[in-house]
Structures are given as C-alpha cells and as structure tokens.
Amino acid sequence: MKKPITILICCALFAPLAFAQPESKGKGQAATTTEEITVTGTITKMTSEEGSAANYQPVKTLVVREDRSNSPGTYVLNGPGHVFDKNGKVIRTEIKPGAHVRIYFADMGNLHMVDRVVVD
C-alpha cells in the first residue's frame, strides 16, 4: 500500500516540472529585416479537359476521347501519384477504358504534361 502512494506523490511532484514553460528573457519582439526577392521563370497555364479514357498506349501515355470532339487527346503521365478519384484519394490501379476522367495539364510544346487525373 505504501508503494502506490509513494509513486503517486513522486508523480505529483515531478508533473509541474515536466509541463513547465521556459521563462521569457525579454519583453518585446525580435527585430525583423525585410529583403526584396526577385523570382524569374515561366508562367505555366494549367488547363483541364473532360472525356472517357481510351487506353494507355505507349507506356505512361493516357489516350482520352474528349467529350467535345471525336479526336483523342494524348497526355503524358510522368511518375506515380497523378490519378485520383473524385474524393481526392489516390488510385493505384489502371484506368479502365471508358471511365469518365478530367485531366488537369500544362502545355509543353506539343505535349500535355499531366498534373493530375480525376476519375469519376
């Protein structure tokens, strides 16, 4: 009976030390400096298209039959993690032909570089 009481008293004594906040040494805020930063680069415009997935051909290229035309659009998938369902969860299986998709991409010359594909 004495052992649990001793443990409880020790915990009660050390608990305030464990949760204590360090004391502030100064009153006021630290000095701040401001520097100008120049950023250079190209602006990439993101675009989206809707359609039905036709197939993957060649590898890492998604061919989509676009809703507003009969011509297929070709989109390059560069790396994993680009395909999501409409709830934002990553899809790790292949996109079945005929699945309705929305592709968000940037034009890089004659290639459409995919940012993400959302499968409905």
CATH, residue 50: 2.40.50.320
Q: Evaluate whether residue 80 is within a structural domain.
A: yes
pLDDT the model gives residue 83 = 84
d(CA 74, CA 62): 6
User: Sorting pLDDT into bands at 50, 70 and 90, what band is 116?
Assistant: confident
Q: What's the mean pLDDT in 1-14?
A: 72
- How many domains does the structure of the chain reveal? 1
Tell me: the pLDDT tens digits for 40-91? 777 677 788 888 887 765 566 777 887 777 667 777 777 665 788 889 898 8
Q: Evaluate whether residue 41 is within a structural domain.
A: no
Single pTM value for the model: 0.54
Host domain of residue 72: 46-119
- What lies within 8 Å, CB to CB, of 71 at 6+ separation is none
Q: Evaluate whether residue 17 is within a structural domain.
A: no
